[in-house]
Amino acid sequence: MIAGIDHLVLTVRSVEATCEFYERVLGMRRLDERNRPTALLFGSQKINLHEIDRTFEPKAKTPTPGSGDFCLVAAVPLAEIQASLEANGVAVEVGPVSRTGARGAMMSVYFRDPDDNLVEVSEYRLD
User: For this structure, is 16 an active site residue?
Assistant: no
Q: Given 16, 57, 86, 120, which residue is catalytic?
A: 120
Each domain of the chain, given as residue ranges in start order, spans 7-124
pLDDT in tens, the chain (127 residues): 988 889 999 999 999 999 999 999 999 999 999 989 999 999 999 999 999 987 677 788 888 999 999 999 999 999 999 999 999 999 999 989 999 999 999 999 999 999 999 999 999 987 6
What's the rounded Cα separation, in Å, for the pair 18 and 100? 28
CATH code of the domain occupying 7-124: 3.10.180.10
Residue type, 39: A
pTM for the predicted model, two decimal places: 0.92
* Paired strand residues for 39: 31, 48
- pLDDT value at position 42? 96
What's the rounded Cα separation, in Å, for the pair 113 and 17? 9
